Amino acid sequence: MILRDLAHRLGCEVRGDGGVDVVRVAGIDEAGTGDITFVSNARYVPRLAKTRASAVIVSPEVETEVPSLLTRNPYLAFARAVEALHPQPRPMPGVHPSAVVDPSAVLGDDVHVAALAVVGSGARVGARTVLHPHVVLYAGAQVGDDCILHAGAQVREGCRIGDRVILQNGAVIGSDGFGFAKDDAGRYEKIPQIGIVVVEDDVEIGALTAVDRAALRETRIGRGTKIDNLVQIGHSVVIGSDTVVAGQVGIAGSTRVGNKVTLAGQVGVAGHLTIGDGVIATAQTGIPNDVAPGSLVSGYPAIENRAWLKSSAVFARLPELHKRLRDLERRVAGLFAAQPPTS
Amino acid sequence: MILRDLAHRLGCEVRGDGGVDVVRVAGIDEAGTGDITFVSNARYVPRLAKTRASAVIVSPEVETEVPSLLTRNPYLAFARAVEALHPQPRPMPGVHPSAVVDPSAVLGDDVHVAALAVVGSGARVGARTVLHPHVVLYAGAQVGDDCILHAGAQVREGCRIGDRVILQNGAVIGSDGFGFAKDDAGRYEKIPQIGIVVVEDDVEIGALTAVDRAALRETRIGRGTKIDNLVQIGHSVVIGSDTVVAGQVGIAGSTRVGNKVTLAGQVGVAGHLTIGDGVIATAQTGIPNDVAPGSLVSGYPAIENRAWLKSSAVFARLPELHKRLRDLERRVAGLFAAQPPTS
Amino acid sequence: MILRDLAHRLGCEVRGDGGVDVVRVAGIDEAGTGDITFVSNARYVPRLAKTRASAVIVSPEVETEVPSLLTRNPYLAFARAVEALHPQPRPMPGVHPSAVVDPSAVLGDDVHVAALAVVGSGARVGARTVLHPHVVLYAGAQVGDDCILHAGAQVREGCRIGDRVILQNGAVIGSDGFGFAKDDAGRYEKIPQIGIVVVEDDVEIGALTAVDRAALRETRIGRGTKIDNLVQIGHSVVIGSDTVVAGQVGIAGSTRVGNKVTLAGQVGVAGHLTIGDGVIATAQTGIPNDVAPGSLVSGYPAIENRAWLKSSAVFARLPELHKRLRDLERRVAGLFAAQPPTS
């Protein structure tokens, strides 16, 4: 594809030679002839002097000799360039003869049901959706249009998945919530989990992530939210839209997470809390209480990020502070001993 | 079902109109006509004034106009009401033609082996047990009566599962323990893991949880213990009865966990430890040493919970304390400078 | 097998009766007639006096009446003794009729493809490799010689696995990296992840561990590295050789981990970092910055281990220190009040 055509497709302006040929995307250091790269971070601008890329996606204010696509959001344009230059092959529509599809299931137009996938009774699969090998839809599960369910992904009974949802390999939607009542002898009796999970449109859920069904009503993942691998979402949790949940995060039951929240890796959130819109929790934060909208929190238990950074810096010096305190105690004790009686 | 009949079934007393019809369970705020709800926490008693539920399960001392089932343990009665009013459909007995069952495997009466499940040579499946699609039992695995193994759950060679056990989706029982010996060049050589896993009766194991087989003898999960999703149980770990292990907990090899222990979310327990009966570890606790029976511990490294709460409160004020220490040092230094020689 | 023959096989010297029969390995406390045990830790030497084992593997300097195999590395010899005395049955070569193997896939000599495994178009499987039930190889995946892929393990499109690699149950190699670009409305757009994962020779990857494919080039796991269960490896991470990654560790995107590193359980490593050769991070450590080769680090954020141990000890005494600081402030204030003006 020549640069001018790619610019047209991405809605960018061209600076320099629009006739140069671009066939691949690449990182700025590895790029060579035929590659287009990008700079979205000012830190990398100096590397443009040395890149061998045929073209680069940059902000208009970045100056370079390299033929350029100009845009206010180079990273987004890059994402789209990957899609344009490296279109992913789409499996052919059809149902593999080894798949087990219940006669009462409803398959939309042009679905792909791969080898050994299972579609239970009354389940529905939307148009153009792809079920990779070994996907399992339990009875009554619903999956929307244009979804991709990777191998081993599972949707339990009655759960509903929107349109354009991606489930990575082995993701489990609708496993039983962790609910037990204790009897007088201290033994636990299972509370049947009769709710469901609702996954709204444009959500992506990572490999080996579990989203538990609600005890009574629903667990819900809001539109456009992206969840990474090995995440645990407890029963009746509600997550808003455009939220990012990084790897190995755990959210306990009945907690509500707002819109445009970011939970970094290994964060833990206790149950029955409210995490406001726009909250950011840095990696490994442990959240035992509600968090106000817009907060940036860290630590365990979570406090405001700047306070945590300062306290952490002092933490590393605690043995020294302890020694200074002891020294001071000795000096002050000495003063008292040395001082003549004041009356 | 009328309330009087439900009372009979749950072993509760009726207060008010026992002829009211109850068809569903619901939360106190969402409940309407035909719904039965419950109050087990004094905090929610005031909401009874506004509920539109047809009936409620409460302790005898709770006063309300709503027709009531009276019991000392409303939460337990509620669990049983869910079961009574929302019976889960049981798959029909039979072996799906696409399942692969070794001729030497032994299936009990009325088992359900779903599509594409695999039962290896010499494996045994107890009466009325349900194997959902894609369950895999390796050679010689044993599963007791009345178990439910959800899709993708796996039991490795020779492992033994008791009666009434539930494995959620993708749970792995009996993966190799993480055991390697280092050679002189610093390379690791695998120690074959020739032990097994024993899961006792009435255990539930969560989605995508891994329980490793022992190096030599057995890893054991005690009767009635409940394990949540994405938990890691190392080789040769022994867990007692009626213990609760929440999501994303990790327990390293050869550790012994007692009875009626609670490990909250994301707790980590080092290897070769003894965690006493009745211990509670709050979320994200990191346990590097033995814990005495009945302890309540928190923090990393774990200390007594009250001490940890107090230290955490001071931690958040460390920069202020540091400043106060510096101020004090200056003042005391000033005193020394100002003071006339004492001799 | 008689002890002398085992000694020959393991390259050890015999002390005492080389004609004694050994048929099993066992722990020092449980061993009986016919068992061989080992002592690799000086702490366990006293137990040799009471063991009923028929033989023991020890260092030459350990004195005991028990017939012994002498070696500088008893643990390694023990690993090999397990292998010698408990050879694991190898599945017979062949392709189960229920497996779905694309006609364009290439299978090496003597491979075992179990029931319901899926081998995609153009995939390659090396000689003597075992694919357990429900293994999925996507199109173009390559697996080397003498590998064992346990049930439910998956290798995504184009990923490459070396020789003698073991994937435990449900491990996912090559799931999409977690990469999204934000648009002007704050919505996330997926960046297609067009790189691969390369797993070098002699690697073992634990149950339910996910290794994400790179955005552009490759994620790489170095020769001989051992990864435990439920670990998350982000896209474009590069791990060196002979490194150990324990259960539930998370490593964020583009981080480079050196050779002979040890990351203990639940450690988290942020993205774009460099962790030097030989680093050890203790359990639950949170690493936000580069770590120099040979460091031993702990805590969150990670600091040098000895400093962390000392600071943690003071942390537990913070309420007491706070009180001492207050007392001192009062005493010093009293001194100022009591003191006559100095001029």
The catalytic site residues of A sit at 235
Which chain A residues have a beta carbon less than 8 Å from that of B335?
Answer: 335
Which chain B residues have a beta carbon less than 8 Å from that of C30?
Answer: 216-217
Distance CA B252, CA A234 (A): 24
Which chain C residues have a beta carbon less than 8 Å from that of A203?
Answer: none
Q: Which of B8, B235, B272, B322 is catalytic?
A: B235
Q: Where are the beta strands (DSSP E) in B48-187?
A: 55-58, 68-70, 94-95, 100-101, 106-107, 112-113, 118-119, 124-125, 130-131, 136-137, 142-143, 148-149, 154-155, 160-161, 166-167, 172-175, 180-182
- Is the separation of the CB atoms in B174 and B139 below 8 Å? no
- Is the separation of the CB atoms in B77 and B38 below 8 Å? yes
Which chain C residues have a beta carbon less than 8 Å from that of B170?
Answer: 152, 170, 208
- Is the separation of the CB atoms in A240 and B51 below 8 Å? no
Closest CA to C12 of C47, C53, C59, C48: C59
Q: Do B329 and A328 touch (CB under 8 A)?
A: yes
Q: Is B286 on the interface with C (CB under 8 A)?
A: yes
Summarize the confidence of residues B28-48 as an average pLDDT.
93
Summarize the confidence of residues B239-260 as an average pLDDT.
98
Closest CA to A120 of A143, A98, A138: A138
Relative to beta strand A232-233, strand A210-212 is parallel
Distance CA B214, CA B174 (A): 8
Distance CA B327, CA C332 (A): 11
Helices (H), C183-224: none
> In chain C, which among 113-142 make CB contacts under 8 A with chain A?
116, 118, 134, 136, 138
Facing B311 at nearest CB: one of C83, C315, C339:
C315
pLDDT of residue C339: 62
Distance CA B166, CA B204 (A): 5
Take residue C122 and report the two structure tokens written for it. Answer: 């153009």
CA of A327: which chain C residue's CA is closest? C328
- H-run or E-run covering A80: helix A74-85
Cβ burial A7-27 (10 Å sphere, 16+ → b, else e): beebebebbeebebebebbbb
> In chain A, which among 292-311 make CB contacts under 8 A with chain C?
300
Q: Is A262 on the interface with C (CB under 8 A)?
A: no
pLDDT of residue B242: 98
Which chain A residues have a beta carbon less than 8 Å from that of B318?
Answer: 310-311, 314-315, 318
CA of A341: which chain C residue's CA is closest? C338
Q: Is B265 on the interface with A (CB under 8 A)?
A: yes
Distance of CA A174 to the CA centre of its chain: 18
Closest CA to B253 of C260, C27, C150: C27
Q: How far is CA A141 from CA A103, A118, A123, A260, B86, in A?
A: 14, 11, 5, 28, 18
Torsion sign over Cα B139, B141, B143, B149: negative
What string of pLDDT tens digits covers the 343 residues of chain A?
999 999 999 999 999 999 999 999 999 999 999 999 999 888 889 999 999 999 999 999 999 999 999 999 999 999 999 999 999 888 999 999 999 999 999 999 999 999 999 999 999 999 999 999 999 999 999 999 999 999 999 999 999 999 999 999 999 999 999 999 999 999 999 999 999 999 999 999 999 999 999 999 999 999 999 999 999 999 999 999 999 999 999 999 999 999 999 999 999 999 999 999 999 999 999 999 999 999 999 999 999 999 999 999 999 999 999 999 999 999 998 887 766 555 4
- DSSP, collapsed to helix, strand or coil, labels residue B16 as coil
Write down which chains contact chain A via at least 3 CB pairs under 8 A.
B, C
Residue C342 has pLDDT above 60, yes or no: no
Q: Do A224 and C180 touch (CB under 8 A)?
A: no
Facing B136 at nearest CB: one of C151, C224, C266:
C151
Summarize the confidence of residues B162-188 as an average pLDDT.
97
pLDDT tens figures, C313-340 = 999 999 999 999 999 999 998 887 766 5
- Is the separation of the CB atoms in C145 and C165 below 8 Å? no
Q: Is A244 on the interface with C (CB under 8 A)?
A: yes
CA of B86: which chain A residue's CA is closest? A194
Facing C136 at nearest CB: one of A82, A134, A325:
A134
Residue B48 has pLDDT above 80, yes or no: yes
Query: Counting one residue from A and one from B, how many pairs have CB atoms under 8 Å apart?
Result: 188
Torsion sign over Cα B277, B280, B285, B289: negative
- Is the separation of the CB atoms in C221 and C245 below 8 Å? no
Residue B291 has pLDDT above 80, yes or no: yes
Cis link prior to A133 (omega < 30° from 0)?
no
Q: Determine how many CB atoms are found less than 10 A away from the CB of residue A104.
A: 12
Counts for chain A of helices (H) and strands (E), in that order:
4, 38
- Is the separation of the CB atoms in A91 and A113 below 8 Å? no
CA of C81: which chain B residue's CA is closest? B191
CA distance C130 to chain B (A): 14
CA of C27: which chain B residue's CA is closest? B216
Place of tokens 């090995």: A230
Which chain C residues have a beta carbon less than 8 Å from that of B268?
Answer: 248, 265-266, 283-284
Which chain C residues have a beta carbon less than 8 Å from that of B317?
Answer: 322
Which chain B residues have a beta carbon less than 8 Å from that of A101?
Answer: none
Distance of CA B105 to the CA centre of its chain: 31
C293 Rama sector, left if φ>0, alpha if ψ -120 to 50, beta otherwise: beta
- DSSP, collapsed to helix, strand or coil, labels residue C212 as strand
- DSSP, collapsed to helix, strand or coil, labels residue B7 as helix
CA of A205: which chain C residue's CA is closest? C178
Distance CA A273, CA A263 (A): 14
Q: Is C168 on the interface with A (CB under 8 A)?
A: no
Residue C103 has pLDDT above 70, yes or no: yes
CA distance A192 to chain B (A): 6
Q: Is A60 on the interface with B (CB under 8 A)?
A: no
Facing A283 at nearest CB: one of C182, C286, C307:
C286
> Cβ neighbours of residue B117 under 8 Å, at least 6 residues apart?
B96, B99, B100, B101, B131, B132, B133, B134, B135, B136
Torsion sign over Cα A307, A309, A310, A313: positive
pLDDT of residue A90: 87
Q: Do C242 and B335 touch (CB under 8 A)?
A: no
Closest CA to C227 of C263, C255, C253: C263
pLDDT of residue B135: 98
ipTM rounded to 2 decimals: 0.96
Q: Which residue of B168, B314, B342 to mutate against C (max C Cβ within 10 Å)?
A: B314
